[in-house]
Structures are given as C-alpha cells and as structure tokens.
Structure 1
Amino acid sequence: MLEFLKEHRKKIVIIFLVVVLIRFINLVGRDRDYNKFEGLVIDLLRPGFVVVNSIQDFSKGTLRVILDYKSVKEENEELKDKIEKLNYSLRQIEKIMLENHRLRESLNFKKYAPYKVVGGTVIGHSADNWSNILVIDRGSKSGIRRKMPVVAKGGYLLGITQQVTAHTAQILLINDGNFVAGGLVQRKDSRNLGVVKGQTQESRLLMNNLSWDADIGIGDTIVTSGSQYYPKGLPIGKVISVSPDNYGLTQSALIAPFIDVRKVEEVLVITDFSTKVDLLEPLNSNHQLEGERE
C-alpha cells in the first residue's frame, strides 16, 4: 500500500487538489458565511479560481467568435448572392436599353421607307471562312421568302435572304463573294451605274462595269439602283478609291460598306417594296449627317 502511494503520490495529490478545488468552487456564491477553515482554503485557492475563470472566459469568447464567424460567413454568402443578382439585373437592363436603341433606329427607317418589313434577331453565323452568312430567328411563318433584301440600322443594305425555314432565315451578306447588286452613284450630277460585288476575304466591296468616263470619285455614296430584288436607294457604302479597269475601257471602285456586318444584332427584312418609292432624297440628308458624325 505504501509502495502504491509512493509510486502514484503525484497523481493522488493532483486528484485531491482537484476534488478540493471543485468542493470549494461549489461553496462560492452560496448565501452563508464561511468558517475559518473554508475561508482560509478559498483564499489559498484564489489563484485557481482566477485560472478557472480565465478558462471559462476564453471558452466563451472562442465559442462566440466561432458562432459569429459562422453568422458573418452566412451573411457574406447572402450578400454575394444579392450582388450577383443585382449585377445580372443591371446587365439585363443594359441589354434591353441597347436593344431599344437599335430598334428605335430601325423604326426610323420604317418612317421614311413605307415598305413592309419583318424584324429579326441574329442567332447564328456561318461556320466556315468561305461564306458570310447570318441566321435570324424569323422565317416563312413571318412572311419571309428567298431573295428578299435585308437592311440593318439606319437602313443600310446588309444582304439578301437565301435559305428560309418556317422559323429561321439565312442572310447572304454584302461582303460574301456570291453577293451581287446593281449600284448607283447617289450624287445628282452623276447617277452613274455599276455592279457591286462582295469579296469574301475582304471588308471592302468592289463596284465594276462603270463606264470609262463615269463621274465617280472618292467619298461618293453608292446606293442600290433598283431591281426586282432591291428597292432603289438603299445605301451600300462610300467610295474609297477609283481605278481604270479592262485596259481603260471601264472603271472600278473600291467601296467601304456603311455597316460592319460582324456587329449586327437586329435586322429588318423588306418583304414588299412594291410602292416603288425612291429613297434617294430622304436618304441623302440622312447620310450627310452620318458622315458628319463619323
């Protein structure tokens, strides 16, 4: 027994002190006077009370930090979600505002061009490098057929419809190598005619078959000359250079299109232009303003 006590005396002393500490901690807060022995022991154990109290305060503080962190994290997640939703709403509002602006420009075209038109949104582009085609979300159900002229904002010629399904239509763009349209120098003292062709690998159009003495120069506006497929006066582009062609028997002109086909998002398909309205006069003042802004 003595050997056991000697061997485990440190553990026994610690257990005794813990028991005593617990016993006297339980005395704290009781509504009675301590006897001398209890008062002496409590005074001796005061440092222990301080340590226990510090441990309790630390535990409470740590628990509070953990709980607060969890609460703050949840609030941050909620705020992030709200911010993301607000950003999405702002992006949608900006998109709607831009669409409204483009639609207003399209409506301006409808005001001075009394044609039947169908509006469409671009939903696809050609996947190869040998053709320039757009796909829109309107088709035969909306009155669109093959070989109908298509314009973009401002009434600029964009192309002509090609393949048409019930709900989609392909548009052959003016810069495609297969695109051909009759062109006319808009200037009143010229009015020379030529043929405008697309160039697949270029962002420019070529106007040839101009007579050798055609009055055409840099800065002239080229519009459609009118045919069974195009009304007269749709703006195509501006002349940026003129050169002799076919050993000087004719001339050719390089034209910069008014519209960047890569940035088109909404279009108007002209489904009927049987009114035969000449757009040259109203378009003339319109393009002068456009040129001034550029």
Structure 2
Amino acid sequence: MFDRKVVRRRRAALAVLVGLSLLLLTVSFGGAAGGGLSAIQRGAQEIFQPIEEGASRVFKPVGDLVGWFGDAVDAKKENKQLKGERADLRRRVAQLETERRDAEQVSSLEALRRGDAFPDGYKTVTARVIARSPTVWYSAIQIDAGSGDGVRENQPVTTGDGLIGKVTTVTGGTARVELITNQGSAVSAQVMPVGANGIVQPEVGNPRDLLLEFVEKGRRVRRGQTVVTSGFTSSKIESLFPRGIPIGKVSRVEPDEVELYQRVHIEPYADLRRTDFVDVLIPREGERAQRSP
C-alpha cells in the first residue's frame, strides 16, 4: 500500500518546483523587458541549474526509451513499406519476363512462317497452350483455337523451332494436340541432306529422345544432320504432314548388327516443356485439308 505521508511530501515538493519554475519564467521575461533583474536571474540560475541537470540525468533514460520506441515504430513502418515495394517489384519482373518469353515465341513463329521451311499452300492459326496432359506431360496439350478458327483434325502443329504434333480432337474454341513425344505418335521423316527415310517415334522412357526407325544401313547418317518431315503422299510411309518441316537433329546413330536397319536418335528442336504458343497449319483453298495416314 502507498504511504500517504510520502505521497503528500512528493506532491508538496512538486508544487514547490512548479512555483519556482513559474517564478523563474517571470524573472526571465522581466529581465528581458527591462534589464533590471539580471542579478535575480543569475541567482535563480545558480539555484536551479543543479536541479535541472539532475532532472535531466534522471529523465534521460526515459527520453531515450521513448525515442527508441518511436524509432522502432518508424522502422517497422518503413520495413513494411519496403517489403511491399519489393513484392511489387518481383511481380513486375515476373510479368516482364513472361511478356518477353511470349514475344520471343511469337516472333519465332513469324520467323518460321517467313522461312524456307514453311510449306507452300498453307496458312496458320496462332494459338496459346491452355492445358497439358495431367498424367503424361509429354503426351498432349490443349490450345485455345478450334473449329471456329478453321482448325480440323490431323492438321500439323508447330512452334517457331519445328514440328510438335498434330490435332486429334476439336471443339468450337479449343483443340487437343497429340505431341510427337507421345508413345502413339509416328511421323514419316527424312535425314537431310542424305535423304535417308524412316519413321520418327519417341523412345520409351525418354521423351526428349526421338528415334528414326527403319533407316537403311547403307545410308551415311551423321551426328548433327537435320531431320524434317518427308511429306510423302503415295507410299508405304505416307505422311500427314507437308514436306520439309524441321523436327530435330541427329544426336547419335546405332547400327543394328542383326536387322537391316540402323537406329537414329534425334534431339527435337522444339522444347515441349516450355511451349506457350503454337501455329496450326491449315491448308489454303484448293489444298487437301487432310491426308490419309
């Protein structure tokens, strides 16, 4: 419990200090106005200076603590603001990176259309990839172009790097594309410039490695040579695809000691893991819309 006598003494001391402070203020103002109270001022200053210094030492930790709390609050606000600005910057950088990638892919599509590899008699519909196979990443993709855009089954689909697959099912506004890395895919192709023919199929267990099967042993296939669609329309390896679309490059050749053929491994040009935009090749008027497989 509080001692009432102590409390009363503290209150009395406080009252005296307040009174003396008021007196000092009066003396100060009077001296400033008339100049006749300088001695009193000096005396009061000599009396109160030790008190002021003692009070300053006593209350300095309190002032420092209050200042520390103020600085801490300001620092917290500033830190929160900086975190918000950093998050905004990260989002902006991610957005710019996405826009850059999109622009690069669209530009590469345009470059393929203008290049010598683009087949005559075809136009394109550019589409965005909106979904991928949930079970097998390299199996199929879904695009945001469909029958309303002129897309039909069995039409070739490319990126700016080369062939990636064909349309298998179509709705009014979307289409499913079977990729050349799907286990059921088969594309008739040629190795250039030697003209060796074969069928491109994915290697089991390695979707980034395609195989060109049924290549005759006598053909001098070498690493680094380009593989393109053959475009045959009247042979045993008839093609759905027009001639000359790039598929990939030869990575290695395995002679088969038993069979009459050699196995040619192909690294596809198109990176199917990072495909966001594609072109569907649509025959122009007068061209056959579909070919028999």
- TM bin (shorter chain): 0.7 to 0.9
SS in structure 2 opposite 1:160? strand
Correspondent of 1:263 among 274, 279, 284: 274
Deviation digits for residues 255-285 of structure 1 (CA, Å, limit 9, x no counterpart): 2222232222221111226788xxxxxxxxx
Q: Percent identity?
A: 23
Displacement of 1:137: 2.4
Displacement of 1:39: 9.8
Number of residue pairs aligned between Structure 1 and Structure 2: 265
Unmatched segments (≥5 aa) in structure 2: 31-35, 234-238, 288-293
Change beyond 3 A, Cα 1:14–1:197 = closer
Match of 1:292 in 2: none
1-side partners of 2:46 and 2:275: how far apart? Answer: 89
In 2, are the aligned partners of 1:217 and 1:242 still within 8 Å (CA)? no
Unmatched segments (≥5 aa) in structure 1: 1-6, 277-294
Is the aligned partner of 1:224 residue 2:229? yes
Displacement of 1:208: 2.2
Is the aligned partner of 1:85 residue 2:88? yes
Change beyond 3 A, Cα 1:218–1:264 = same
1-side partners of 2:124 and 2:26: how far apart? Answer: 94
Displacement of 1:252: 3.4
In 1, are the aligned partners of 2:24 and 2:41 still within 8 Å (CA)? no
Give the TM-score taking structure 2 as reference length: 0.74
Correspondent of 1:183 among 171, 189, 211: 189
**Of 143-152 and 54-63, the range deviating more from structure 2:** 54-63
In 2, are the aligned partners of 1:176 and 1:200 still within 8 Å (CA)? no
2-side partners of 1:16 and 1:238: how far apart? Answer: 100
**Of 140-149 and 171-180, the range deviating more from structure 2:** 140-149
In 2, are the aligned partners of 1:243 and 1:251 still within 8 Å (CA)? yes
2-side partners of 1:60 and 1:165: how far apart? Answer: 74
2-side partners of 1:274 and 1:171: how far apart? Answer: 23
Correspondent of 2:174 among 168, 185, 193: 168
Give the TM-score taking structure 1 as reference length: 0.73
Is the aligned partner of 1:199 residue 2:203? yes
2-side partners of 1:8 and 1:75: how far apart? Answer: 47
Correspondent of 1:238 among 246, 249, 260: 249
What are the equivalent positions in structure 2 for 1:43-192 lying under 5 Å apart?
46-52=49-55, 63=66, 66-67=69-70, 69-112=72-115, 113=118, 114=120, 115-129=122-136, 132-154=139-161, 156-187=162-193, 190-192=194-196
Match of 1:24 in 2: 20
Aligned CA RMSD, in angstroms, stands at 3.6
In structure 1, what residue type is equivalent to 2:271? D
Deviation digits for residues 27-63 of structure 1 (CA, Å, limit 9, x no counterpart): 22014589x9999898656543444455677666655
1-side partners of 2:21 and 2:85: how far apart? Answer: 51
Match of 2:290 in 1: none
Change beyond 3 A, Cα 1:48–1:138 = same
1-side partners of 2:137 and 2:127: how far apart? Answer: 24
